[in-house]
Amino acid sequence: MSTVLMSSEKISTSITGAEAFRIRYRSADLHGKATESTGLVITPSVAGKDRKVLSWAHGTTGIGDAGCPSTQPDPARELVTYFQSGSTTQIDYGIPGLQKFIDEGWVVVATDYQGLGTPGVHQYTVNRTNALDAVNIVHAAREMDLGIGNKFGCIGWSQGGGTSAAVAELDAAAYGDLELVGTVAMSPGVPGVAVKLPETQAALAGGGTPTPPDGHMYMMLASMTAAFPDTLSLDDVFTPLGKQIFEDNFNTAPVHHLSDILVRTWKHQGAILDVKKEKLPIWLPAFIEASAARVKPIAPVLVLIDGQDPNGPCPLPWQLGYIEEIKALGGDISSSTYPNDDHFSLPQSSVDEARTWLSAKF
């Protein structure tokens, strides 16, 4: 494999016994188009060799530079969420359980994904593109003198749960000399599963109904046109007002800000979504092509389910539907449910199980 790492810069970290770097590296999207991504590499301060590697795949932050985790204050830190009491962040960022990973000698890498801090529209929830970013950052980190081995595991949450699922389904060339030991999907967002469900198809077909657009759905539609520019268009799914909101805000408004803009603009100015039903036969196969749950995973998969709110950002039918699809493909998949956790508390509550499960596979 040719050189992947483009640049690295040492940054400060609040994690004890660790050094952190912000890097830029080469990647590609699901169609092989060359891209660039940024991200973090956090390693124990003491020298080591043949270290275990964790690739962390973050959840929803946005579809442009405002959603870039590695440019936030103190980015190489434990996960902090937008909804925590006292939070001053506009996005969720950081890595759950990071201190314990470092204490146990892991190197942790965390991609920003293409388009978040690099040119272009971020291919939000395009699981296969995001997965390539999560694997290529491991290749990039191995070009640094950090004693990194060739075995790695992946953990992802929400959007990143779909990413981590797809990490186990890439073509052999994507891994090169890397060995994936297992992948953990926390509340996975897999659009190819979601669009098969009647409620999702009803939401797509009902773009003109008198309800404000969901911010996540809006971003999914916009980002799919970036992933499939030759066949999909914003005109297929948005009104002129919807297109204007995209042009004005995609790069500067992170997810929660954008969601509020959508609701207020819809209330005062009218319809934002206008899904052309005649275009759905093109869109639905594209969602499936972009997603995980297409082939049998090459490594074991653990799904961690947030059970408190079945209608959360990644609804329970999405999570269970992914599990059933992987079982049908013959994959090695298991799951645990956290009944007292919602979507946003799940990572902190379940990361110890994820780390223990992965550690046993090295």
Please write the tens of the pLDDT for every residue from 54-66. 999 999 999 999 9
- 351 close to 97: Cβ distance less than 8 angstroms: yes
What CA–CA distance (Å, rounded) separates 132 from 113?
Answer: 9
Instruction: Please tell me the predicted confidence (pLDDT) of residue 205.
Output: 67
User: 3-class DSSP state for residue 233?
Assistant: coil
Residue pair 211/246 in contact (Cβ under 8 Å)? The answer is no
Q: What is the pTM of this model?
A: 0.97
pLDDT for the residue 204: 72
Q: Are 68 and 167 in contact (CB under 8 A)?
A: no
Question: Based on the number of CB atoms within 10 Å of its own CB, is 284 exposed (0-12), middle (13-18) or buried (19 or more)?
Answer: middle
d(CA 7, CA 80): 27
Scanning the chain, the segments in alpha helix (DSSP H) are 98-103, 127-142, 159-167, 172-175, 191-194, 198-205, 215-227, 240-249, 255-269, 280-290, 316-328, 346-359
**Residue 313 and residue 190: Cα distance in Å, rounded?**
12
Tell me which DSSP letter residue 96 carries.
T
Q: How far apart are CA 106 and CA 54, in angstroms?
A: 7
Q: Sign of the CA dihedral 263, 265, 268, 271? A: negative
Alpha carbon 54 to its chain's center: 15
Strand order in the sheet with 333-338: 5-11, 18-28, 34-44, 107-111, 51-57, 148-157, 179-186, 301-306, 333-338
Query: What is each CA distance from 89 to 75, 244, 250, 298, in whole angstroms?
Result: 11, 26, 18, 36
Cβ neighbours of 154 (radius 10 Å): 31
pLDDT value of position 258: 97
Q: Could you give phi then psi for residue 302, rounded to 5 degrees? A: -115, 125
pLDDT of residue 1: 57
How much is the pLDDT for 212? 82
Tokens encoding 32: 């092989």
Among 106, 15, 13, 126, CA closest to 63: 126
Q: Extract the tokens encoding 77.
A: 């830190």
Sites in the chain below the pLDDT cut of 50: none
Report the alpha-carbon angle 57-69-161, nearest 5. 20
